[in-house]
Amino acid sequence: MDFPIRSPYDKVSGIVLVARLIDKVRLHSAGRLPEGYHVGFIPGNRTFDDRFCRFINVSFELFTASVLTGGSDEEILERCLAQGRRPDAEQVEVWNTFMMKRGWRDSGTPSLIRSKAESGLAHRDDLITFFDVMDVEEGRRP
């Protein structure tokens, strides 16, 4: 069976992470979010959920409501963009690049190193971003 949460690399309307967040909201709502996963915000910690909602300028509550209203991934995202902000192609490129490289030679590197160690992956020098670690933890190739 495939892992129930899509890769952070999967895109919706060209934007990384959206598909994953939609999966997490749906699973959380159904009481099936895998142990150790969170959805939304963690006080004192910038989560990817938080970063995405800030990127499109919607609250996580609005994002969640859009997901639970139903529809395709594209319809869910479109509802959010209509109520928040619609990034242009260059902003999406910057967002995607930033997120896909998060943890590699940036302020997130110490957290990435801790995350790899906690997952028993400290020996994996090929895992250089948070997205890479998520994929390996979930049985996908980096």
Residue 115 and residue 13: Cα distance in Å, rounded? 29
Could you tell me where the DSSP H helices lie in 84-108? 89-100
- Average pLDDT score over the chain: 94
Please check whether residue 48 is in contact with residue 139, taking contact to mean a CB–CB distance below 8 angstroms. Answer: no
pLDDT one-digit tens code per residue, 77-104: 999 999 999 999 999 999 999 999 999 9
pLDDT in tens, 19-72: 999 999 999 999 999 988 988 877 777 799 999 999 999 999 999 999 999 999
Residue 133: alpha-carbon gap to chain centroid: 12
- For the chain, what are the domain ranges? 1-100, 102-142
Mean pLDDT confidence for 124-129: 96
The amino acid at residue 33 is L
